[in-house]
Structure 1
Amino acid sequence: MNLGARHPGTEAAWATGEYIRHELERAGCRVWTQEFSYRGVRLRNVVGVLGEGKGPISLLGAHYDTRRLADRDVSYPTRPVPGANDGDSGVAVLLELARALDQERLANEVWLAFFDAEDQGGIDGWPWSVGASYMAANLPA
């Protein structure tokens, strides 16, 4: 997958969410999403569920957005962050867990959460962890 930078609200970010949803479904997860907006930007969290109904929920999460500005890079502070590690590595680990975990052997229900808009803190007044904060405030019953 080569989508480049995945800034919140971009086509690349939305396509990444679709890719994650598709891969979770292929791995046998039940998938649900949270679509919401922040400052007029369309965002989406994607959650894959394994071992549904098997005891307490264990939640593992990663973000899939990339930072719009490399503001801490002294050489290129106005360039976007590619996100090959910060953003992609956590997503890769969770997708591999979705494939590797045996749902029949799980003792707990497992949620694999992929958050949007986590990595923009301090840019144009955005806070950190927008997607995770939204999920925490709007958990399904």
Structure 2
Amino acid sequence: TIANETIDVHDGGVSGVQQGDLIQFAPDDTPRCVEKEGTASLPFTIGMALLATVYGFRPDLTPSQDRTEFSIHPRRRGTRAGHTLQWEREAICGATAVAAMRWPNRFSKLIGDKAFGLLMAHLLGHRVPKTVVIGGRLAPFSFGQATG
């Protein structure tokens, strides 16, 4: 099935590509963002946990060797009224890519570079105090451990 939809990429969500143990994404762009500088590049498990923490829902993506172009939206979108849209999926034979976990990147700028760093530390198992992030374009979200 092919559906041609126009979806606002400036809604606070992200677009990107998932393949194998790699997920890459950026806000305010299409899945072609992976061809540009500043795209977040994370191991699949960490990237999914990060997106679930920030958006409050787990994106509808599963680990696969196939290359999947997707977009994730804070509000339900598309003909299926979901948070996750899968734009294209293709089989890739033998190609592997490695995550380049670094920031600043376009997503860290969306949530705040300091918040991104603390969230990454939390997701990697480090002790991070309870943190509530209140940004300009996203709903508030929290992570970390209470200290009191």
TM-score, normalisation: structure 1: 0.26
Greater helix percent: which structure? 1
Query: Which fold has the larger relative contact order, with Cα–Cα distance below 8 Å and residues 6 or more apart in sequence?
Result: 1
TM-score, normalisation: structure 2: 0.25
